[in-house]
């Protein structure tokens, strides 16, 4: 399958390239050490007690970032491993594990939650494990 390229080149054959061709894009650098939003999210995640879970949206609200659930997920993704964040205590809306059920991350999160006594059935945690993060 082919897709159009930039029309900067005038050669008819040069206007199309194979889908498999990779386009080099510059990588964004994330300055995590001095980002107050990320640090606020990490602080909130550390405050979730063992055996309890919260949602990405609740973590963002507790960090003073309402409506930024995706930023909470991003903060956990880029967190330095030295922080040893309890990332497994953060789940998606409705208490569901956000990773695909066939992924290694899904199995690891379910395993860690069960080790803390949280009931996980069909990719969802029990409602009794949900905690309120109002600060």
Which residue ranges make up each domain of the chain?
36-128
In the chain, at which residue ranges do the beta strands (DSSP E only) sit? 2-4, 16-18, 54-55, 90-91, 120-121, 124-125
One digit per residue, the tens of pLDDT, for the chain of length 135 reads 555 555 555 555 555 555 555 555 544 555 566 889 999 999 999 999 999 999 999 999 999 999 999 999 999 999 999 999 999 999 999 999 999 999 999 999 999 999 999 999 999 999 999 998 775
- Phi-psi label, residue 106: left if phi above 0, alpha if psi -120 to 50, beta otherwise: alpha
Regarding pTM above 0.85, the answer is no
Distance of alpha carbon 14 from alpha carbon 10, whole angstroms: 7
What fold, for 36-128? Arc Repressor Mutant, subunit A (1.10.10)
Task: Indicate the helix (H) or strand (E) that contains 105.
Answer: helix 104-115
Instruction: Map residue 1 onto helix, strand or coil.
Output: coil
Res 26: pLDDT = 47
Task: Indicate the helix (H) or strand (E) that contains 111.
Answer: helix 104-115
Res 27: pLDDT = 47
Res 32: pLDDT = 61
């Amino acid at each position: 399958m082919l897709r159009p390229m930039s029309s900067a080149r005038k050669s008819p054959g040069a206007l199309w390239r194979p889908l498999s061709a990779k386009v080099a894009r510059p990588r964004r650098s994330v300055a995590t050490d001095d980002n107050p939003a990320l640090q606020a999210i990490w602080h909130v995640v550390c405050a979730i007690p063992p055996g309890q879970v919260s949602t990405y949206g609740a973590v963002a609200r507790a960090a003073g970032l309402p409506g930024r659930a995706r930023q909470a997920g991003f903060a956990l993704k880029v967190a330095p491993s030295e922080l040893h964040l309890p990332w497994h205590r953060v789940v998606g809306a409705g208490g569901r594990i956000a990773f695909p059920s066939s992924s290694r991350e899904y199995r690891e999160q379910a395993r860690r939650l069960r080790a803390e006594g949280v009931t996980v059935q069909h990719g969802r945690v029990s409602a009794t494990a949900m905690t309120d993060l109002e600060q």
